[in-house]
Structure 1
Amino acid sequence: MCGGRWIEQRALLMQFSGNHRWFAPIAAAALAASLAGATAATANAPTIALHSSGAIADASQVTFAGFAAESPLDVVTVNLTTGERLSTSALTDAAGGLAVSIATRDQDVYFVQGLQGGNAEGEISVAELVGEGRELRAVDEPTVLRAQPAQAPAEPTVELAGESRVGATVSASLSGLAQVDPQQISLSYYWSNGAEIFGTQRYVTLPALALGTSPRLTIVVRQAGHASIAVTGTFADSLQATVALGTPPFPVMTPTLVGSPQVGSTLSVRTGAWSPRPTAFRYQWLRAGAAIAGASAPTYTLTAADKGKLVSVRVVPVLAGHGAIGVVPTVDKRVGKATATVSVTSPRTLSRSKRARVKIKVGASGIVPLGTVTVKAGGRTYKATLGSAGKASIKLKRFKRKGNYAVRVTYAGSATTKRAVASVTYIRVNR
C-alpha cells in the first residue's frame, strides 16, 4: 500500500460516544501555524521517533521524549487499515521520555500518538507519527504540538447513500455539524473493507476487493484552532451490510462472428460493447449447441466435423466482483464445404515420341482435399485419385499429330470440399 496517501492523516481514536466512534486529537496541518508561538516558547518540546525498527519480531519500538518527567503519558495506536485500536498509559522517566513496543503487520498503516495534558495554562502536549508495515516505516515527518484541548462538536453522524454492490457508487454526508461554519472545516474520507483502504473521496465506486465485506467510512473533520474529530459509519448503519456481486456486464452491442462459414476457414469473435466494461472474456465454441473440446480461443478454424452444422461461440465477460452472463452469437448459415484451388504442372513443349506427365495439386484452407481429378487432353479422358497430400500425377498417351493441345483438369470435390476447375494449360507437340 502506498504510504503517501496517509501524509495528511493526523488523527487517532480518543473516545467513544453513543453508537458513533469519534476522536479529538490535534489537527497538525491546521494548528501548526497558529500554535507555532506556543511551541517555540516551550523549552523542552515533545518528540516521537522510531527506535530499533525491526529489532522485535512483528513489532516496532517507538520512543517519546520532551514530555513532563515522571508524569502519565497516554499512548494510542490505531491500525488505520483494520480499525483496531489500542490505548495505554505509562509514566515517563526522569528525563520525560518513554519507549513502547507496538505490534505491527505488513502493509497495514498505523497512527501512533503520545498525549500528555493539563499544565497550568490548560495546554496539552502531543507527538504523533504515521507508519506503515511490520517495521513501521515512517511515511511522514512526526507532528509535535502544544495546544489547547479540543472542543468537539456534538456527535456528528455519517450518512451513506447508494447500493451495496461491486461497481456501484456510494456517497457520504456528515450531519450534526450545523453549529460549525462549513467554510472553516475540511473533511477527509477513508473507506475501508477492514483489510485495505480503497477510497479517499466523498464518493467511492465499490471495488472487487469490497465483495463479501462490510465496509466502513471514517470522516476526519479538521477546523483551524481546534482538535480534529473523526466519526465512523458502517454499511450496516445505512445500507446492506455485506457488499454483493456487481451487475453483470451487459452487451450494448452484441458480439458477432466474422469469417466465411466453410470448412477450412477461420472464424473470429468481435466482442461488441459492454456496460460495465469487462477486463477480459472467456470463449467456448459450440457445434450444434454442444461444446467443442479445446475450442476456447477467440478464433476457431472450421473442420470437416463442422460441415453442415451450426457453429456458434459463447462469449462470457469477465469483471472481478461482478456476475457473468453468456451471449451466443451464431453464424447466419450452416457451415459449408471448403473452397478448393487446383494447380496443374505440364510440359510446355513435347515431341510426338514422348509422353507428357501432368502433375496436379488440389488445396483448401485448413484441410487436405480428398477425392478424384479428371484430365482431358487430346480427345482422351484420364482420372486419378488424390493422395494424402492432395496430389495426383497422370501420364498422358502420345499425341499423334503436332500442334497445340489443351489440358483441362477438374476436381470432383468431396464431402467437405467444393468442386473446382483448373485454368486451362497447353502443350505444344513438335515433330
Structure 2
Amino acid sequence: MTPAPTAVPRARTALLAIVGALSLLVSALAVPARAADPLDITGRVVLPAGYTYSAAMPPRFEVRYPASPTTTEPVRYPILYAPVAADGTFTVPGSRLQSGGRYYLVLQDGQQRLVGGYVTASGGIAQQHPDGALVAPGRTDVVVTATLGQQVTGSIVLPAGYTPDPNRPLSVVATVGKPYDGSERFAYGRIEADGRFTVGGFPSGQAVRIELVDPQYVLFDGAWNPATGYFSGSRLNVGTVTAPASGLTLRPNLAGSISGRVDAPAAILANTTIALDAVSDATGFRENISTYTDADGTFTIPDLDTGRSYAIGMFSFDDLEPGAQRADGTWSPIRPGEPGFDATWSSLRKVRPTTTGVVLSPPTTVGVRGFVTAPDDFLFGYWDTHAAEVQLWRRGTDGTWAETDSQRVAENGWFSLQAFDLAKRTEDHLVYFDPHADVNPKNARFTAGFWTGNGTPLTSDPAKAKVVRHTTGIDVVIPLAVRNLTAPAVTGTVRVGSTVRATTGTWDPAAVTTSVQWLRDGAAISGATSTTYTPTAADEGARLSVRVTAKGGTGWLAATATSPGVTVAPAPISNVTRASISGTVAYRKTVWADRGTWSTPPTSTSVQWLRDGVEISGATGSSYKVAKSDVGKRLSVRVTARAADGSQARSTSLQTKVPKVTPTVRVSAPSVKAGTAVKVTVVVDSGGLVTKPLGTVAVTLGSKTTTVTLTAARAGTVTVTMPAQTKGSYKVTARYTPTSTSTTYLNGATSSALTVKVT
C-alpha cells in the first residue's frame, strides 16, 4: 500500500502567528523591575558611515532565546525588543530576562538599510542563528559593528475585488536559509500606501525568499516564485532572489475554492477516509494541506489561487483507487508525487478555483466489505485490547482452511478488507467473525463463526460456510439474532367467549415487525394469527398462550418468544330463553315472572320488576300485582342468574304496556209526568282506581243533550236535570270524557241506554 501523502502547511499560518506574537511583545516592554530581576544587558552599535539615524524607524534588537542551551537548536519567538539610540547605545532590561538564561540579539533596522541578523561573538552579524552568540544577563560590553546592507524592492499589484484594511495590513517578509529546517531567519519589510515595498538589510549576494501575508485571508498569499510569478503555500516550492534586487512585481490573486463530490457507494463514502489535494504542476506539488470529504462525499478545497488551474488528486485507504481524473473523465491511477505522475499531467482535468459541482469518479477497488449487525446504540470498541474482528480464510493446498487476513470492526460495524497477496484476490475465501466475547464482555451479545449468508446464522463448520469473492460491492452482512427484552403476554379475562389480546413484548432492535400465533396447549390454533382471540369451547380447560415472531430486516435473524400459558375458564353463564311475564297485565291484576332458561343451571336467580325500565322499589318477588302507578306505563321483569363459578347474567323481558281503565258509566232516572223536568243521575265508577274522577258528563234524553262538569266534590256522581218532555218513552245515555288529569288513568266511556217513560 502506498502511504498517504504528507502536505506542507500553508506558510501564511506560521507567519501570521509570528507577526501576532511580535505585536503582543511590544506592549510588554514597560514592565517595572523587581528586586530579584536579572541585570540588564547593555552595549552599543557602531553605525556605519553613510547611515542616517531615524527616530521614527530606529534600529532595534530582537531578544530571543534558544530551545535548548546549544546554539544549533531552533530559536523561539522574540521575548522583547530593545531599541538602539541615536548614539548607538541600547539596553535590554533585566526585568524581562531570566536568571541563568542566555539570549540571542538579532539586529533589525526600521529603514531596511543595516545588515540584519544574529550578533556574533566578535560583534559582527550572522544571517542565521547557529553562527550567533548567546549573551547572558549582566553583560555590559556588547559592541556590534553594523554595516550597510542590500535591499530587495518592488511593487505589489492588488487584484480587483480586494479592499485593504488598515487594521489588518498586508505584510512582506523575506526569509534567509533553508525552509523549515529550524534555522531560517525572517526579515520583515515595509509596504508603502502605493504598493511599493522594501525589505532589506542583507549582505550582497544573499539569496532570499519573498513572502506576502494577508491577515484578511482574502488573497492567495504565501511564498512568491520569481520564475512563474505565482505564490505557493510552501517555501520549498519557490525560488530565491539575490540581494540587491529591484523592480520586482508581485501580483497576488484572490483566494478561492473548488467544491464538488466524490461519486462512490454511500457506505464507502461514509466509512472511508478520502483525502483530496489541489495539485499545481507536473511535479505533483500539493497546494495546502489535504482536504477530506464529508460523509456524503462532498468536499470543498479552500484557499487556492484563482489565477491558476489545479488537478485534483485523491487518496483513499483501500476502498477507492487513488489517483486523479483525466480530462476525458477516465481515472488515472497514478497519485501526485508517485513515479510517472509527470507523464500524466497533461492528460489530467484542470479546474480553476470558484468552480463548483466537480464530480470525481474513482473506481472502487475489489475487496470483501460489509457490516456487522449490532444492537441499537451499540458501538464496537475499535481500540479495545480484544476488539471484534473480521477475518479472511483461504483454503491451503492441503484443503485446510486457515486465516490469512484480518481487520478490526469499526465502531458502526463496518469492515473492508482485502487479501494482502494481490494474486490471491481472485480465489475463494471464507469470512469469519470473532467478537472475542470470551475476553471482551462488551461483545457478549455476539457469537463467533463463519458467514453463511446475510440472513442465516453463523456456523463453526467451514464446510457449511458460504464462499465469498473479492468484488467492488458491499456484499457481506454478519447477522445477529433479534433479542426479546420483555416477553409477550395474554391480557384480558381468559375464558370461553371472552376476547383476549396479545401484547407482543419489546425487542432489540426496537424497529421490528411482529407476527402472532395463538397456541392451545402449545399447538398452533388454525387461523388464530390476530393480536386478539376469542376462546371457544375447544379451548376450555386448555393452556392458552401466544407465540410472537420478530423480524428486524436485513442482517437480523428472526426470533420468537412465547407468553406463559393461561388456563381457559368455562364460558360465563348466559341466557338462552328470555325472561317473560305471564298473566294479564292490567290494573289490579297479578302477573308472574317466567325466569327463562340459561346456558348452565344457575345456583340462584333474582327478580326485579321494572316500570318503564326503572326498578320498582320492593318489587322483587316472582309475582306482582299491577298498581295504579303502572297504568299507562310499560311493565317488564329482569331476572339475574348466578352460576357456581361466580359468573352472572341478566335477562329482561319485553315491555308490556299497562292499559288505562275504562270506567263503568251508569244512569238512572224516575218516570215523570209530561211537562215535568227529568232528573238523571250519572255514576262514573273506575273500580277504585280514581275515586274522584274529573271530566265532563254529557246526558242525552231523546234529542236533547245536556253537558255538565264532573268535579272532585261530586266523587264520580252527578245529577243532571233534563228539559220536560211530552208523553212517551225516551232513551237516556251518558258519555264521560276525562280531563287531562284523569286521562292518565282513565279512558272515556258511555253508559248503556235507559228507557224513561213520560206519562
TM-score with structure 2 length normalisation? 0.26
TM-score with structure 1 length normalisation? 0.41
Say which structure is richer in strand.
Answer: 1
The structure, 1 or 2, with the larger RCO (C-alpha pairs under 8 Å, 6+ apart) is 1
Q: If you compute each CA radius of gyration, which structure gives the higher value, 1 or 2? A: 2
